[in-house]
Chains A and B, each alone.
Chain A
Amino acid sequence: MSRKRLFVTPYRCIDCKNCEVACSFVHTRDPRKPSLTRVRSYTLRNDVKSVVLCLQCDDAACQRVCPTGALERDPETGAINRNDKCILCKACTIACPFGNIHFDPTNVEIVKCDVCEGDPACAKYCPTGALVWAEKPIPDEKVEENVEVRTLPWAMTMPVR
């Protein structure tokens, strides 16, 4: 059975923040808490836009550093989810080399991308195809040409699980 994955194509991002609003709303039911988004889009230097969210690493630093086994892979979605074993030591938030796991001081909990349990809202509301939840990526010349895109500098492979 082929499985859906989150395909991230940062150069298509226009930094419209739809993904951020969708993410924080789905996870907090509070449209006034955009700071609690797990996905972030940016306008970087030279007006370059980009988007990033948890890569659900195969050998994840957050999982390695967690003393209680509170970060568990969901075999269905492929996402690493934080369970109720978390003791709030915040080690994971410092250890993640990609900055994709956070402490939410309002609700006093560790938050990270859970691909919305298999139906990621960010992808649903992304108007440009920078975030796509599908079995295959959208064919893309630029991506096809750029073999590099599959092997990122940290020996991490795209697409995101």
Chain B
Amino acid sequence: MSDNGKTTVRMTIDGRSIDAPVGATILEVARANGIDIPSLCYHPGVEAFGACRLCVVEITKPNWEGWKKLVTSCLYPVEEELIVSTRSEEVIENRRVVLDLQLARVPDSDVIRQMAAKYGIHDTSYEKRKDADTCIMCTICVRVCEAIGANAIATLSRGPEKYVDVPNIDACIGCGACALSCPTDAIPMTEENGVRHIWDKDFELVRCEVSGEPIGTPEQIKHFAEKSGLPESYFTKSDRQRKKETAADLARVMLG
């Protein structure tokens, strides 16, 4: 609730009048209303960080006397009387610069290439990074790992040299959420013969005690059992095996 007890604010996005919940960000409200704002570092499941600047929009207010400014919509909370433009010339130009720079950073990323192409950029106007991987430094992996509570991933170094890594490999529980959540598939993960390989480490997977299917790393299972307070016996079988057993239990109970 806002100071005056209201739970919504009346605002405008691209000429549309919208009642937005207090505390929400411009990005959330726009998307909830079917207005697309592109983003790279935003993930609804983790805290917003404002790293990529692709989500920048233009804002003004009736009493700003024509004065406007660009803000990162994934961080900026909605306000009464806010007037937002998600497609002004400045906004589009900002997106072009962000994507042009990203394309120089990760020339081989299909995701970025496709996004850039939408804004008419097919080749970067900057110097391409040498030996580039596909990491765009959105830090979603860092925040995902934090949300899980493992805190294994960090950003190291500074400026253009900055990169993400796992400084303390013992903290990594091998759950793979970082790799699966990465928007540009920059974190390699493989699973073969019951061994998961991620961040240059091999995790021997725990197998379903009945079917033998690999279900997760021992570290992952221990971590989630502890965090949730659920007994470890909840984490001993594959979903497929459990489902079948549930079906059998239901049948047994029914038939007496």
Contacts and interface: CB of A to CB of B under 8 A. Distances in A.
Contact of B253 (A89, A90, A152): A152
Interface string B89-122: 0000000000000000000000000000000000
Contact of A88 (B177, B216, B251): B177
B186 interface: no
Contact of B249 (A61, A96, A108, A152): A152
Interface stretch (B63-71, B130-138, B223-231): B223-231
A142 B251 CA distance: 12
Given A8-B250, A11-B255, A90 B216 contact: yes
Interface in A95-109: 95-102, 108
Interface string B242-256: 111111111101111
A81 to B, nearest CB: 14
Contact of A99 (B46, B176, B246): B246
A87 B246 CA distance: 27
A50 B248 contact: yes
Interface in A111-161: 142-143, 146, 148-149, 152-153
Contact of B45 (A87, A91, A95): A87
Contacts of B255: 11, 48
A64 B229 CA distance: 8
A138 to B, nearest CB: 14
A28 interface: no
6 contacts: A10-B254, A50-B251, A67-B149, A90-B175, A95-B234, A146-B254
Given A87-B45, A96-B242, 7 more contacts: A44-B244, A51-B247, A87-B177, A88-B180, A89-B177, A98-B243, A148-B256
Contacts of A86: 45
B239 A11 contact: no
A118 B52 CA distance: 39
A153 B251 CA distance: 12
Contacts, number: 137
Given A87-B43, A87-B45, A97-B234, A9 B147 contact: no
Nearest to A64: B228
Chain A interface extent, by class: 35 or more
Given A84-B44, A87-B177, A50 B148 contact: no
Contacts of A90: 175-177, 216
B243 A52 contact: yes
A94 B246 contact: no
Nearest to B191: A105
Nearest to B236: A94
Contact of A149 (B221, B230, B253): B253
Contact of B247 (A40, A96, A142, A143): A40
A26 interface: no
Interface in A8-66: 8-11, 40-42, 44-45, 48-52, 61, 64-65
Contacts of A42: 244, 247-248
B181 interface: yes
A1 to B, nearest CB: 25
